[in-house]
Amino acid sequence: MITKLSAIPKDTIINCDFVIITHYLPNTSYVFDNEKVFKKVGNRLKPISIYISGRCKVVKINGKPLSVSKLNQLKKRCIMVFATNIIKMPF
Task: List, for residues 5-46, the tens digit of each pLDDT value.
Answer: 778 777 777 788 888 999 999 999 999 988 889 999 888 899
Q: Assess if residue 62 is contained within a domain.
A: no
Q: Assess if residue 63 is contained within a domain.
A: no
Q: Assess if residue 31 is contained within a domain.
A: yes
Residue 29 DSSP one-character state: S
Q: Assess if residue 64 is contained within a domain.
A: no
Q: Assess if residue 26 is contained within a domain.
A: yes
Residue 80 belongs to domain spanning: 2-49+76-88
Distances (CA, A) of 65 to 11, 45, 89: 43, 20, 42
Cβ within 8 Å of residue 17, ≥6 positions away: 83, 84, 85
Per-residue model confidence (pLDDT) at position 43: 83
Q: Assess if residue 43 is contained within a domain.
A: yes
Per-residue model confidence (pLDDT) at position 13: 73
| pLDDT at residue 56 is higher than 70 | yes
Q: Count up the domains in the chain and report the number.
A: 1
Q: What amino acid occupies position 8?
A: I
β-bridge mates for residue 50, sequence order: 59
CA 42 to CA 29: how far, in whole Å?
A: 10
